[in-house]
A and B are shown apart, each in its own frame.
Chain A
C-alpha cells in the first residue's frame, strides 16, 4: 500500500510536467492545426535561459529563473510561429511537422554546441530536503514542481474558459472561419497562443531543471514524445482532458516502474496510446471534426 501511494505521488509529480508540455502541444495542434515538433526544444531553451539568468543574478533564485525561462522560451516560440508556422498555414500538416523538426534539430544541436552534448548541472534553486506527507516521502523540489505545474495548468484553464481571448481561442479551434467572420483576428490569436504555450513550457522547464538538478540540450526528446502521446490519448476537444491524461500517464509510468520494471516504463505510454486509439480513435475525450 505504501509503495502504491509513494508511486502515486511520484507519478503526479512527473505527470504534471507531462501535462504542461502536452498542453503546449495541444494548443498548437487544436488552434493552429500544426504539430509543433520544436515545442519540446522550446522547453529546453527555457531551461537554459533559466540557467543563464541564475548565473547572472543568483540572488533571486527560482523566481528570476522562471521569468527568464518564460522569456527565453517565449521569444523562440514567437519567432518560430512567425517564420515557420504561419507561412505554412493551410498546407499538409506533415510539412509543418518537418519544418518544425528542422528547427528542433537546429535548436538541439545549436544548444549542444554552446553547452556541450552532456548534461549540465542546474543550480540548486531549492533545497534537497525530504518532506513526509503521511506515508509518502517527497522532496521539496518535487512538491514545488507539482505546485508550479498545477498553477500553470490552472492559469491556462482560466484563460481558455474565462477570458474573451480565451473564448476566441476555443472558437478558432472549433470553427476558424466563423471566428474570423465575427471579428476575431485569427493570426493574432495564433501568435498569442504559441507565445503562451512557449512561456508556460519555459517556466515548467526551469522547474524540471531544478527538480533533477541537470539540464541537457537533448532533454526535449524525452518530454516531447510523452507529451505528444498525452495529447493523442486525450483528444483535442477539451484542454482539461490533456491535463488529466498527462497526470494519468505519469501515474501509470510510476506504477509500472514500482511494480514491474523500470525498463518498461517508456513502453507503458505507447501501449496506452495504441489501446486507447484502437477503441476511441478520436481520443478519450473526443476531437473536433477536423
Chain B
C-alpha cells in the first residue's frame, strides 16, 4: 500500500462523553486533505488522537501501512515524521522565536542541520529573522502563525497536521496562510488540515471530509464537496 496514513473506525470519548465515533480516513503521500466541521464537531479530537495525545476507545491508526501509532507515545510519533501546527498556535510564549524553532528540531540529532533549516526559515520569513530574539508571546497573530508553521517544518516532516490555521487572523493574513499551505504541499509534504474556513480550504485541498458531531458524513474530491448543497448551506453562505 502506498498510503501514508490510514485511520479506521476511530472512536474517542472524553470520560463517558463520546466526541468522535466511527471515523475513517486515509491520506497518501503528498496529498492535501481537509476535514471540515463546525466547533465541537470533533476535529481537534481527531488530530490529538493521531498525535498520541489522546487515547481512543476503539479504532486503528496505521502509518505507512504497518506502524501502529496507537502503540506509540507522542514523541515517538513525531520522530516518524509527523508534525503539528496546533489550534491557536500554542507557541511557547515565554521563549524566544528562535528557541521555539530550535525546539521544533529537538528530535533531530544533527544540530548543525537544524541550524541550517532555521536559517532557511528565516530566508523564507524575513519578518521572523527580525524578531528572532523576541519573546514569542509578543508577536502578532499572523507572525505567531508563521512561527508555528516554521516550527513544524524544522523537523522536515512527511505529514503536517494543521488545526485551524486561519483561526483568528485578518483576511489578508488568512490568504497568506493558505498560500503558504499550498506552497508546503507543493514541496511534497502531505497535509491533513482541519478547518472551518471551507471556501479557502476547498480551494487548496484535493480531498475533503465533512465532520458533524463526531462522525464523517461526507467524503470526496474537494471540488465535488464544494458543490454539494449541504456544504454550501452550512459553510459557504448558501451560494456557490
Contact = CB atoms under 8 A, between A and B. Distances in A.
A–B in direct contact per CB < 8 Å = yes
Interface of A: 164, 167-168, 170-171, 174-175, 177-186, 237-238, 288
B107 A170 contact: no
B53 A179 contact: no
Given A164-B102, A164-B106, A171-B103, A181 B92 contact: no
B131 interface: no
Interface residues on B, range: 20 to 34
26 contacts: A167-B103, A168-B103, A170-B92, A171-B103, A174-B92, A174-B94, A175-B92, A177-B74, A178-B90, A178-B92, A180-B73, A180-B75, A181-B53, A181-B74, A181-B75, A181-B77, A181-B78, A182-B78, A182-B104, A182-B107, A182-B155, A183-B79, A183-B155, A184-B103, A237-B94, A288-B94
Given A167-B103, A168-B103, A168-B106, A182 B94 contact: no
A38 to B, nearest CB: 27
Interface string B67-104: 00000011101110001101000101111000100111
Contact of A174 (B74, B77, B93): B93
A175 B90 contact: yes
A177 B79 CA distance: 15
Contacts of A178: 84, 86, 90, 92
B33 interface: no
A152 B153 CA distance: 36
- When A and B form their complex, which 8 residue pairs have the shortest distance between CB atoms, in order from nearest? A183-B107, A180-B74, A183-B78, A181-B84, A185-B75, A183-B106, A183-B75, A181-B51
Given A179-B103, A181-B51, 16 more contacts: A164-B102, A164-B106, A164-B111, A167-B99, A167-B106, A177-B74, A178-B92, A180-B75, A181-B83, A182-B78, A182-B106, A183-B79, A183-B155, A184-B103, A186-B75, A288-B94
Contacts of B95: 167, 170-171, 174
Contacts of A171: 92, 95, 103
Most buried by A among B84, B106, B107: B106
